[in-house]
Amino acid sequence: MSTVYFIENSVLNFLDDENPNVRKEAMRTCCGLSFPKTSHLRISSTMERIINKLLHRFFVTATTDNEDRIRVTMLKHLNPQFDPFISKYENLLMLFNCMQDQNFEIKERTVRILGRLVPHNASQILPYLRQLIVALISQIEQSNDAKEREEAVKLIMMFVKSAPDIAKSYSASILASLIKKLEGERATSAFVSATL
């Protein structure tokens, strides 16, 4: 518990430091937080409040920090211990915002986390994932930008890996879109490689 208080009262303050290396280390320290492996329902209300405060700051940093590597670090080191808390609606909304990032690695890591969170809050996550997969299929079919199509394929691959049971219901649509594009004149070598 003392470690949690230390992070709340000391380390969190460094997330606003002007030095990006200090912000990065503060992020790693926060994400490395360890707490008892028990049901989140049995965690004290004080600890739950602190964890939710940490997550709020994590996601603010993940969506607003001007350094890509800081935003990537946040998602990279956000360990599964936090999953029951991330899956709460207010935290999910901030995680969904990470999909708007221009950095592809952030989008990829966000999809991975979302797939991991499905068992914790399927009713909130599944509709978002369904919308996401439909948008990605549409991007493959309609985008004139080769890089956008390649990234859509890679995100679909991450979606299939992280949420295979959900992906099954979209497999026919995904395959039809990919095959259509593979047979088209605009299929670049990078797109073919990503698809395969």
pLDDT digits (tens, 9 = 90+) for 46-100: 778 888 888 888 888 888 888 888 888 888 888 888 899 899 999 999 999 999 9
Helix (H, G, I), strand (E, B) or coil at 37: coil
Last residue of a domain, one of 117, 132, 161: 117
pLDDT at residue 101 is higher than 90: yes
Name the residue type at position 22. V
Q: Is the same domain home to 148 and 62?
A: no
Q: Is the same domain home to 99 and 87?
A: yes
Q: Is the same domain home to 32 and 107?
A: yes
Q: Is the same domain home to 134 and 97?
A: no
Q: Is the same domain home to 111 and 164?
A: no
Q: Is the same domain home to 113 and 154?
A: no
Quote the crossing angle between the two packed helices 89-97 and 122-142, to the nearest 10°: 20
Alpha-carbon span 160 to 100, nearest angstrom? 20
Name the residue type at position 27. M
122, 71, 130: which is closest to 95 by C-alpha? Answer: 71
Q: Is the same domain home to 108 and 29?
A: yes
Last residue of a domain, one of 117, 151, 180: 117
Neighbours of 3 (CB within 10 A): 13
Using pLDDT thresholds of 50, 70 and 90, give the confidence band for residue 1: very low
Query: Does the reported pTM lie above 0.95?
Result: no
Neighbours of 127 (CB within 10 A): 10
Q: Is the same domain home to 127 and 110?
A: no
113, 36, 107: which is closest to 72 by C-alpha? Answer: 107
Give per-residue pLDDT as tens, 143-159: 888 888 889 989 998 98
Using pLDDT thresholds of 50, 70 and 90, give the confidence band for residue 103: very high
Q: Is the same domain home to 135 and 80?
A: no
Residue with tokens 């049995």: 42
Q: For the chain, how many structural domains are there in total?
A: 2
pLDDT at residue 185 is higher than 60: no
Q: Is the same domain home to 23 and 2?
A: yes
Contact between 4 and 45 (Cβ < 8 Å): no
Q: Is the same domain home to 42 and 104?
A: yes
**Once rounded to an integer, what is the mean pLDDT over residues 33-57?**
72
Two structure tokens written together for 190: 């990078």
User: What is the residue range of 62's domain?
Assistant: 1-117
